Amino acid sequence: MCTETHAHYDRLAPLYDQNWAYSSDFLEWMSGCILARLQVKPENRVLDVGCGTGLYARRLAERTGSVVCVDPSARMLEQLPDDPRLVAVQASAEDLVVGSPLLPVDRFEAILVKEAIHHVTDRGAVINGLARLLAPGGRLLVVMLPTRIDYPLFQKARERFTELQPDPEAIATAMADAGLAEELSYDEFPLAFPIERYLGMVRNRYMSLLSTFGDDEIAAGVEEIQRRYSGKRVEFKDRFAFVLGTAP
Ligand SMILES: C[S@@+](CC[C@H](N)C(=O)[O-])C[C@H]1O[C@@H](n2cnc3c(N)ncnc32)[C@H](O)[C@@H]1O
């Protein structure tokens, strides 16, 4: 993980659930989208790569015995609930696929990578390596934002997002190259926040993208959002790509 990303998540860790939990409705909706695609069964071995604070790992653990939770940020892993079903491993996705025995088991029926693939440097090699960790018939699900987002961010942030965000189609191609049967689908959830809450999230640099802007740029961006959204609430669709690969 690059130093900037590391610093971003170390700083954000204690605030992460507050920013990202949005609402129990959002978490329920997203968990449903993940579970419908991963089809986790009670006896399955499950791996969550880039698990962060375990927002989704803890829900996966309710369906199965235990979940191996991998993240390079010790601060994010510290926020995992104290639950023996969640097995923390401090590592990056890249570390997992170089062959060193970091994981407690060597095959998984389900692997989740939610909103972490954009941090991965060699995405083709990582998708290929994760595909090698799947048991026969196992599923790898990459959940990510599309390259264009409808968030009420300032213009420069939206443009930079489009420049930096990998294309879900490229992830699907990497899965096909790794021998998986790939399937790309999209789902969206309507979000609404009081404007002050959303501006607070932007000031906190709730997305890693916002860590690429300096203090003055964030302050100018907040003013731009205030000018554009003079109402009391911001409303937008949070649209996600779900790239699923199934092993033969
Ligand atoms: C936006 S958070 C997503 C956390 C969690 N999956 C969720 O949806 O709540 C991105 C996570 O990816 C982790 N991360 C950053 N670089 C990574 C890498 N190279 N491999 C795996 N995870 C990485 C960060 O530490 C952070 O916890």
Distances (CA, A) of 52 to 34, 63, 71, 87, 200: 16, 19, 6, 13, 21
Structural domains of the chain, ranges and CATH numbers in brackets: 3-191+238-246 (3.40.50.150)
Over residues 212-227, the pLDDT tens digits come to 999 999 999 999 999 9
Of 174 and 18, which is predicted with more confidence? 174
Helices (H), 123-214: 123-132, 155-164, 168-177, 195-203
pLDDT surpassing 70 at residue 241? yes
What's the 71 CA to ligand 1 centre distance in angstroms? 6
CA–CA separation, 175 vs 166, rounded Å?
Answer: 14
Protein residue whose Cα sits closest to atom 11 of ligand 1: 50
The model's confidence at residue 22, banded by pLDDT at 50, 70 and 90, is: low
Decide: 94 and 121 in contact? Cβ < 8 Å. yes
pLDDT surpassing 60 at residue 21? no
Ligand 1 atom nearest the C-alpha of 119 is 16
CA–CA separation, 153 vs 149, rounded Å?
Answer: 9
What's the 232 CA to ligand 1 centre distance in angstroms? 32
Task: Supply the pLDDT for residue 94.
Answer: 95
Q: How would you classify residue 10: left for phi > 0, otherwise alpha for psi between -120 and 50, otherwise beta?
A: alpha
State both tokens at 133: 């960790």
pLDDT surpassing 60 at residue 1? no
Its pTM stands at: 0.94
